[in-house]
Amino acid sequence: MRCPRRNPPNADFTPRFTYLSTPPKRAHVVDYRHVIHALRRKPMALLNLVYRDQLFPRDAYRQTFDRLLERVPEKSACRVMVSLLSLAHERGCEADLAALLAADLAAGQLPDLAALRERFAPDPAALPAVTVLLTPLTAYEVLVGNDNDLGAAA
């Protein structure tokens, strides 16, 4: 039994979808914050990503990665770059970090990851002091309706 939608063998075939000129180009729109968690697990994936250039939030990040690839082994370059992107994501310092990376590039030096982590670390004095008040267990006994004293059961 033949499928009714199939063209007969000798019929002229016209494709259903045709482009008027060239096919539309599809650019990757990627936010590094969506893939940073996967890159942290496999930093070397950054090296061969199809959309790597679109992944970097600013030019300073891309130029830093290029400089890292020139001066250090690929594995170290990927690890440092993923750490920089992770730092920008976790601390919300994308623009400030880009400015520091651009300054390092202008000075001809590689970024110091430890110094950048220290610079963008939260200030311990600015963290709020949290005090947790625990409710005594006897209050739960009242809720349950059990009049037994907790000490009498032991």
pLDDT reported for residue 153: 52
23 domain residue, yes or no: no
Q: How far apart are the first and last CA of the chain?
A: 83
Residues of the chain with pLDDT under 50: 1-4, 13-19, 154
121 φ/ψ angles, rounded to the nearest 5 degrees: -70, 150
Conformation bin of residue 145: beta by default, left when phi > 0, alpha when psi is -120 to 50: left
Buried b vs exposed e over 74-95: b needs ≥16 C-beta within 10 Å?
eeebbbbbbbbbbbbbebebbe
d(CA 45, CA 22): 32
* Percent of all residues in the chain with a pLDDT value above 90, rounded to a whole number: 49
Question: What pLDDT is stored for residue 139 in this prediction?
Answer: 83
- Output the six-digit token pair for 103: 């300054």
Range of the domain at 43: 32-123
pTM for this predicted structure: 0.66
Q: In this structure, is residue 132 part of a structural domain?
A: no
pLDDT score of 1: 47
> Over the stretch 117-152, which tens digit does the pLDDT of each residue have?
999 998 888 888 899 999 888 888 888 876 555 555
Residue 146 resides in a domain: no
Contact 74, 47 (CB under 8 A): yes
Number of domains in the chain: 1
Is residue 71 included in any domain, yes or no?
yes
Place of tokens 């045709």: 18
pLDDT at 142: 81
